[in-house]
Amino acid sequence: MLKKIDAAARLIGRHSSLFQCPVCGLAMEMNENRTLLCRNRHGFDTAKPGYISLLTKSVKSDYGKAMFEARNLVCRSGFFHPLIGQIGKLILNGRTEPVTVLDAGCGEGSPLAQLADVWKRGTPAGFLGIGLDLSKEGVAIAAREYAGFLWCVGDLARSPFRDRSFDVILNVLSASNYGEFRRLLRKDGILIKVIPGSGHLRQLRHALYDRSPRQAYSNDKTRALFLRHFDMLDERQIRYDVALQEEQLEPLVRMTPLSWGARDEQIQRVLRLAIREVTADFTVLVGRAKVR
């Protein structure tokens, strides 16, 4: 059985045509030392856990390992399954050809891995999944938990991929770079962006920010920005309630940005409430880059 580093290097090597050097923009190839290298000798090593970092300088992420571990626990519990199931149907949509999907802001990898499962249940056509995130901690968890994907640490603003490389870009509850999305998508490629709806995690929002402006949420500005760059092909509201086991509440609280500005006493108060059901509420935007 191959070590993770060898399996990752082999997979990246097979698909090296997707990559461009984030320093100079030249094509890259994997060498025998597990280094992705361009002709100008800019090299990026495969990491032991099974991912590759293509950052050109050290970058500090706001998201730490504890948050990503919490998110992985929540994701594995099935919290996002209804959402990912709907996204899978949107991508399948009668396709019979293999698909190449970039998860931009992949975090700890669960959404992309779950999407691949939906795809494989729906069609024998191939699925190549690439995850990109600025956080080494998140990508390391993705590589640990989910084999068979290309996990990359990199900056979306200077993404290390060649033009027109992807059929689908997935952007779930994460920051966007529409200029890069336009560059990376193939001619008929689609962007699927997921943003929280007004009712998302409303139970936690009310418990954390009673009578505070943070109780309310609107995604109008995010939607308007999407429409400035992409033509809307589809828009769906996906809302469902999720029953929580006692041990699931704290990871859910710790993973959500709602808690990041909260004081510890606020978080402890929410945990004492023993909330047993929360609302998941998402808006899914599907678009194709505007013709210019």
- Taking only the tens place, the pLDDT of each residue in 147-173 is 999 999 999 999 999 999 999 999 999
Number of H helices, E strands in the chain: 10, 11
Structure confidence at residue 212 (pLDDT): 54
Which of 164, 165, 175, 89 lies closest to 130 in space, CA to CA? 165
Does this model's pTM top 0.75? yes
Structure confidence at residue 214 (pLDDT): 53
CATH superfamily of 4-289: Vaccinia Virus protein VP39 (3.40.50.150)
Share of the chain above pLDDT 70, in %: 97
Which of 46, 40, 36 lies closest to 24 in space, CA to CA? 40
**Using CA atoms, how far apart are residues 266 and 198, in angstroms rounded to an integer?**
21
C-alpha dihedral sign at 174, 200, 213, 285 = positive
CA 239 to chain CA centroid, nearest Å: 20
Question: Does pLDDT of 178 surpass 70?
Answer: yes
